[in-house]
Amino acid sequence: MAEWQTILVNEEYVSDNVYILELNRPEAMNSLNTLMGIELIECLKSLQKKPDLRVLVLTASGEKSFCAGADLKERKGMTNEQWKEQHDIFEDAYEQLRNFPFPVIAAVNGFALGGGMEMLLSCDLRYAADHAKMGLPEVTLGIIPGVGGTQLLPRAIPVGLAKEFLFRGNKIPAEKALSAGILNGVFSKEELLLGVLEVAKEIAKNAPLSLKSIKKSINTGLETDLNTALTIELDQYYKCANSEDRQEGVLAFNEKRKPQWQGK
């Protein structure tokens, strides 16, 4: 892997087919600057080519902040054109995250505000430390979320509740985010990464083609009508049903052993 300035890639759990991508600007509350946006694009493109990756865990350095959103110090004094150029980079980075072919799990270790919350909403599963707080405060800065917040949040929780969080722009404690349906679970800060890794390793044991097809079926199907969505599902079903891994799965079941997935 390349040497990154604003992110880290932890390959300690590669034997379990799990990679950890870590935002690494703790001195700036892991806020998103232009370089981080560029490096996220490059890194996510590189990671999806890894033949041994089945699950990606996204977290951040330190215990205070997951991501405090865009780096407003960097944005101070930007012209409208410079702001747009930077935002184009951010849009690409978040699109790479949303469209990552395998499951992405967020481990939110602190504040997730603005673009930080949009980042966790772009992940497939979301867990947080019990001290974490999240929110979309853009309305208090004279803007609105611009990398998915107004679209992803209402798809994750009831629309009225999403509108309240967006209109008020306040910080949401982890337990409230859990009860609202934003999070899948809450851990103590000491147990967060270990807890998320247990989930990640359990998922990573499953057939890689199935994981990719489930994600594509859900994400694509949610954007269309039911009949079209069922057609999308059936197309993905036969991609798996006609694969070598399907034959291996049935054989392993009958031979009472663990399947050896090949991803084909």
The class of domain 208-254 in CATH terms is mainly alpha
Domain boundaries, the chain: 7-204, 208-254
What pLDDT score does 105 carry? 98
List, in sequence order, every residue forming a beta bridge with 29; answer none if it has no partner.
Answer: none
- Cα–Cα distance between 92 and 81 in angstroms, integer? 17
pLDDT in tens, 143-180: 999 999 999 999 999 999 999 999 999 999 999 999 99
The 3-class secondary structure across 39-105, one letter per residue, is HHHHHHHHHCCCCCCCEEEEEECCCCEEECCECHHHHCCCCHHHHHHHHHHHHHHHHHHHCCCCCEE
Retrieve residue 8's tokens.
Answer: 């880290």
**pLDDT: which is higher, 183 or 141:** 183
Residue at 118: amino acid letter: E
pLDDT in tens, 16-62: 999 999 999 999 999 999 999 999 999 999 999 999 999 999 999 99
pTM over 0.85: yes
> What CATH topology corresponds to 7-204?
2-enoyl-CoA Hydratase; Chain A, domain 1 (3.90.226)
pLDDT in tens, 89-119: 999 999 999 999 999 999 999 999 999 999 9
Catalytic residues: 118, 138
